[in-house]
Chains A and B, each alone.
Chain A
């Protein structure tokens, strides 16, 4: 403290380094909660795959009867069926965790009171059931 301001600062030869422990790329395997987090993240890849699959269907329908039948045959290849089965598992996992999280994301108030979380989650599951039935009904109305 007693030094003059004009005095040059003194440096130590020792250079401290940041304490940054290396984290393995597999850190998320150590805990169930982090594994669930990563599986939820990975579900997005299957959402992307679904968009491709669905747009191919739209293209086939637009392409005419023959293209549509060809798409249906292609969709029945074991590898594609397996990919869609895995996709379904991941997307359902996404849906369930998404709806369970909804009460935290939506703070709905009615008549000055906060709507209980269970009710919000239940209404989301209800919307899921109604949407699924509606889509299935529209598509299956044309079953041969």
Chain B
């Protein structure tokens, strides 16, 4: 259990960092790409502009790190939601494995996508 005791504060740190990212940038991005552009409130940026914005080295790093932190935030809260709210305690190991496994898959996907931007 010593290993677990060491890793737990680190997971909470990633959770908190992801929480900050989620609070600061998700609302504005959802408002723009989730509602304003699809509903025609604002005209969407051109593809060339999006390519310039996302392709900037600073953007690539920011997107990769942010996605990883957000996924950790999701995983950490989600597994405790299942544990506390729905009281699924007997499947705890499986849930932990699947949650953090999804984080790993998402992180790799984010890395590949950001890397492949022209």
Instruction: Judge whether B49 and A142 touch: CB under 8 Å.
Output: yes
Mask of B21-48 contacts with A, CB within 8 angstroms, 1/0: 0111111111111110111001111111
Instruction: Judge whether A41 and B85 touch: CB under 8 Å.
Output: yes
A76 interface neighbour in B39, B43, B48, Cβ under 8 Å: B39
Instruction: Judge whether B22 and A91 touch: CB under 8 Å.
Output: yes
Main secondary structure of the interface of A (DSSP, over half): helix
Interface check A64, CB cutoff 8 A: yes
Instruction: Judge whether A62 and B45 touch: CB under 8 Å.
Output: no
Instruction: Judge whether B47 and A61 touch: CB under 8 Å.
Output: yes
Look across to chain B and name the residue whose beta carbon is closest to the beta carbon of A91. Answer: B26
B-side contacts of A123, CB under 8 Å: none
B-side contacts of A5, CB under 8 Å: none
Mask of A37-75 contacts with B, CB within 8 angstroms, 1/0: 010011111011011011101110110110011001001
Which of A48, A51, A88, A135 gathers most chain B CB within 10 Å?
A51
Look across to chain B and name the residue whose beta carbon is closest to the beta carbon of A101. Answer: B19
A-side contacts of B35, CB under 8 Å: 81, 84-85, 88
